[in-house]
């Protein structure tokens, strides 16, 4: 994209992570450092507003959720919000605890997005179809339920294997577990993030 002339803006952490090799624990894989041309030319810590082609773009950082680099972009005049990988529409999300992502952060990020959108906002997910506020709220409520069910199991000292075997999300799996993040793997990822970063 940079070679084609795109100007890349991102959160401070994005540039830091792109400059060095990253390890994704859930997939046991390494991502090599990006070449200099691919690095953001402008970074920000909390928020940034751009004025372009008559539009106002509000870029907002959220505390670690999917990763520690997450932002969402609100196109204020068009009333469109791009949620990126903070939103996997109709499916369990991938949450990368290798980069400080965890389920509690996903819930907080969803709440922050809900405070920005209205019933007419078009919400673009990182994965899945274009969404309404109501569909996004259903996703947020699912995240809350997941957190409420798995956190007590972690706190009680259950192992990740026992937690997976307990099928704590069995009643949710038919609706949310048919994406690329399968139910058992999702429980394992949520467990690991809670254990690392909080209840």
Domains along the chain? 47-197 (3.60.15.10)
**Dist. CA 110–CA 65, nearest whole Å:** 9
DSSP line for 91-105: SPPP--GGGT--HHH
**Dist. CA 180–CA 154, nearest whole Å:** 24
Q: Are strands 71-75 and 42-44 parallel, antiparallel or unpaired?
A: unpaired
Average pLDDT of the residues in 126-140:
98
pTM score, whole prediction? 0.96
Average pLDDT of the residues in 138-159:
98
- Residue 127's CB: how many other CB atoms inside 10 A? 16
pLDDT at 145: 98
**Dist. CA 124–CA 116, nearest whole Å:** 14
Residue 198 banded pLDDT, cuts 50, 70, 90: confident
Q: What is the pLDDT of residues 64-98, one digit of tens each?
A: 999 999 999 999 999 999 999 999 999 999 999 99
What is the pLDDT of the chain when averaged over all its residues? 97
């Amino acid at each position: 994209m940079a070679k084609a002339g795109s100007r890349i803006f991102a959160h401070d952490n994005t540039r830091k992570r792109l400059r060095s090799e990253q390890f994704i624990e859930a997939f046991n894989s390494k991502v090599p450092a990006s070449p200099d041309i691919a690095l953001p030319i402008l970074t920000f810590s909390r928020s940034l507003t751009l004025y372009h082609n008559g539009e106002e773009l509000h870029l907002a950082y959220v505390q670690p959720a999917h990763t520690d680099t997450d932002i969402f972009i609100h196109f204020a005049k068009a009333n469109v919000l791009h949620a990126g990988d903070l939103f996997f529409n109709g499916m369990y999300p991938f949450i990368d605890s290798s980069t400080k992502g965890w389920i509690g952060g996903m819930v907080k990020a969803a709440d922050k997005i809900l405070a920005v959108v209205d019933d007419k906002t078009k919400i673009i997910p990182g994965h899945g179809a274009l969404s309404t506020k109501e569909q996004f709220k259903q996703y947020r409520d699912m995240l809350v339920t997941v957190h409420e069910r798995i956190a007590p199991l972690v706190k009680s000292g259950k192992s990740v294997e026992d937690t997976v075997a307990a099928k704590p999300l069995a009643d949710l799996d038919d609706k949310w577990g048919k994406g690329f993040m399968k139910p058992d793997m999702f429980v394992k990822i949520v467990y690991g993030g809670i254990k690392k970063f909080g209840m």
